Structures are given as structure tokens and as C-alpha cells.
Structure 1
């Protein structure tokens, strides 16, 4: 299975789903990321604020940051190559990157909040 790596901008916590004003894109991606893991995807996230060495030690990421700066994050690598920049991959994209069936991606429910309901709590 192809390795997928997500390089996040500096976030307040590992998932970015924390604090009082949570970005819905991060909530959706956190659910999609967890879904991909449960489907067996070889997927990992790195947070610039918490794991800067992962950014510095990866030549592709380091070169990207030198050209685009942290404003270009998030960055998605698939098999060590740049696959997506500036936004998080959608569930269908994660499925394609990981070789997961498109039926599994289309039939899986998407959580509307980090608590699994519509309360908006974290």
C-alpha cells in the first residue's frame, strides 16, 4: 500500500480540532483521516508546530517550504511525491491515494463534528 503523508501547518494540537472556533475543514479531514486508517491506509500526519524535524528531514517537504513557505500547507505526499497542496485531501482522494475501493469511500458516513453529533463540542 502506498504511504500517504500529510504535512499540516502549525496547529494548536495534533489534529487541529481543538479550541473554541474549530475549522470545519479540519473536522471533516480528521474524520476522513481516521476513516482511511480504519480501512488500512498507510497514512500519517505531521504538525509543523509539534514535529518540525519531520519537515526539515524530508527533502521534498523542505524544498516545498523553501519555495512556497508555510502558507502553502497543508502538503500531501503520496509515495514520497507531492500529490496535493494548499488544502486537505477529500475522502475519495484518500481512497484513491491508498488504493481503497471507491465504493467504501462513497458508502462511509462523514461525521459532522468532532463529537459525532451536531453539538459542536470538542
Structure 2
């Protein structure tokens, strides 16, 4: 089974998708992680604010933090190997790293209103 470990910066909650000012990048990334889980990938997320010991215990993450500080986060490991840091990857990148075929995010349906006429 393929694995993905995500070492997030300090977020308000485990997913970072909370509060009134939600970051769309985190929303998209959360959807991508759910998609990966549906593809059979074991996904584990670590939040610096809630699990700092996990960051210190993983050599690649500790090295990234030592070199770049908090700007190095998030750090992403695929099967234990460093694959990305400093930004959240797209679904296409995740799929490539894990040898999966990317599936597009669902598109929100367009409004049915046309001019002054609504259905």
C-alpha cells in the first residue's frame, strides 16, 4: 500500500479547513486527500500545533525545518521519501507521485438563471 504523510504548519484544526476565512487551497487539498484515500493510499496528516513531536522524530521533516524554518511547511513524504515542501501540491502532482491516474475535481453546477428568468 502506498503512503502519504503530510506535515502541515500550525493550523487551527486538523484539516485547516475551519473558521470564517477558509483558505481555498486547503479546501482543495482536503478533497484531494479524500480522493487519494478512495484510491487506496494510506494518508496521515500531522499538525505542528497539535503534534510537534512527530516533526522532530521524522529526519526529513526535521532537516527541512532546520534549513527553511516554518516556510518549509507543508512537507510531504511519499512512501517515506521527501516529495514536496513549502506548498500544497495539486491533485495531478499527487497522482504522479503515487503513480495514479488523476481524476478532475467535480465542477460546481452552473446557475440555471438566464437574464431575468430563473428556473
TM-score by length of 1: 0.80
**Given the alignment of the two structures, is residue 43 of structure 1 paired with residue 52 of structure 2, yes or no?**
no
The RMSD of aligned alpha carbons is 1.6
Which structure has more helix as a fraction of its residues? 1
Structure 2 unaligned residues grouped into runs of 5+: 109-119
Alignment of 1:45-60 (within 5 A): 45-60=45-60
Counterpart-to-counterpart distance in 1, 2:87 and 2:34: 17
Q: How many residues are aligned here? A: 108
The corresponding residue for 2:115 is: none
- The residue aligned with 1:34 is 34
Give the aligned partner of residue 117 of structure 1.
none
Q: Which has the higher contact order (CA 8 A, sep 6+)?
A: 1
Instruction: Pick the structure with greater CA Rg.
Output: 2
In structure 2, relative to structure 1, the CA distance for the partners of 1:66 and 1:32 (3 Å cut) is same
1:101-120 to 2 correspondence within 5 Å? Answer: 102=101, 105-107=102-104, 109=106
Q: Which residue of 2 aligns with 1:13?
A: 13
The worse-fitting range, judged by mean Cα deviation, of 24-33 and 39-48 is 39-48
Q: Which moved more, 1:9-18 or 1:63-72?
A: 63-72
Distance in structure 2 (CA, Å) of the matches to 1:91 and 1:23:
17
**Secondary structure, in 3 states, of the residue corresponding to 1:106?**
coil
Name the TM-score, length of structure 2 as normaliser: 0.82
Once residues 56 and 92 of structure 2 are traced to their aligned partners in structure 1, the CA distance between those partners, rounded to angstroms, is 29
| CA deviation after TM superposition for structure 1 residue 2, in Å | 2.8
- Where does structure 1 lack aligned partners over 5 or more consecutive residues? 113-122
Write out per-residue CA displacement over residues 72-102 of structure 1, whole angstroms, 9 at most, x where no aligned residue: 11111112221111111211222222232x2
